[in-house]
Amino acid sequence: MTDGCDGEVTDDATDDAKADGGWTDAEEEIMLATYRALLEHGYAGLSISRIADELDKSKASIYYHYDSKDDLLGAFLAYAADRFQSSILTESGDDPREDLERVIEKLLPLRPDEEERQIQAVFLGLRGQAVTNATFREQFTELDEQLAATIREVVERGIDEGAFRDVDADRVAEHVLATINGAMYGRATSDRETAVAAVRVSLSSYLDAELRRS
């Protein structure tokens, strides 16, 4: 996620150039700097100053794009959702059942590395703010909508292709998303390491039973 973040933005033309996901190069640089600052300082220690340090630019160059730290973090959540979505689309293959496992492993890795643990802790911190902060709440509503849609679409594809039986794809998607979110949340806030492994096995067997054509 750090590729291309050391480049210099030299003129307004570059500033306005839209990258793939509808983000300008300048915005994307700020997003990557935000990501690094979050990993380093956590949500509580995040400031525009620290993002500017990561960016090697002035705070003004950030305020030019975002009015406040919350505004920037709202954009960051949207950016992370876009990135996740494209990585899922890129990697989807021929077998919808395998694609489902891939989405699950991405969202709830069995053995997360240090960076994955940290980014999940960061998201949990941001998500906690969504209880009272309307901007974050909106972003997490969209993020969950998007994740549920990703899972639902794989299930629907499986049904269309005749690989899965004709289940209520929406219901299955909400179940999978809630189970993943709950296990992720549990792992970040307790010391019950074996719980995630039990959930992963159980989720797979739920999907096998639910989707299997009889």
Examine residue 206 and tell whether it contacts its own copies (CB under 8 A). yes
User: For residues 24 and 179, which CB has a smaller minimum distance to its own copies in the complex?
Assistant: 179
User: For residues 89 and 134, which CB has a smaller minimum distance to its own copies in the complex?
Assistant: 134
The DSSP letter of residue 23 is: -
Say what the alpha-carbon torsion angle 106, 110, 111, 117 is, to the nearest 10 degrees: 60
Query: What is d(CA 214, CA 212) in angstroms, rounded to the nearest whole number?
Result: 6
- Amino acid in the structure at residue 211: L
Query: What is d(CA 78, CA 48) in angstroms, rounded to the nearest whole number?
Result: 18
- Token pair for residue 28? 């994307």
Long-range own/partner contacts, residues 57-65 (CB < 8 A, 24 or more apart) = 61/26, 62/30, 65/26, 65/27, 65/30
Residue 154: CB minimum distance to its own copies, A: 16
Give the residue, chosen from 5, 148, 149, 163, that forms a contact with its own copies under the rule CB under 8 A.
148
Residue 196: CB minimum distance to its own copies, A: 8
User: For residues 30 and 177, which CB has a smaller minimum distance to its own copies in the complex?
Assistant: 177
Examine residue 210 and tell whether it contacts its own copies (CB under 8 A). yes
Residues of span 114-143 touching its own copies by CB under 8 A: 121, 124-125, 127-128, 130-132, 136-138, 140-141, 143
Examine residue 181 and tell whether it contacts its own copies (CB under 8 A). yes
Query: What is d(CA 121, CA 56) in angstroms, rounded to the nearest whole number?
Result: 25
Give the residue, chosen from 145, 160, 161, 213, that forms a contact with its own copies under the rule CB under 8 A.
145
- Token pair for residue 170? 């929406």
- Which residue stretch of 9-17, 55-63, 79-87, 194-202 sits at the interface with its own copies (rule: CB under 8 A)? 194-202
Give the residue, chosen from 18, 165, 171, 213, that forms a contact with its own copies under the rule CB under 8 A.
171
Which of 186, 76, 207 lies closest to 142, judged by CA?
76
Which of 81, 164, 195, 67 lies closest to 127, judged by CA?
81
- The count of other CB atoms within 10 Å of the CB of residue 214 is 3
- List of residues contacting its own copies (CB under 8 A): 42, 121, 124-125, 127-128, 130-132, 136-138, 140-141, 143-145, 148, 170-172, 174-175, 177-186, 188-192, 195, 198-199, 201-203, 206, 209-210
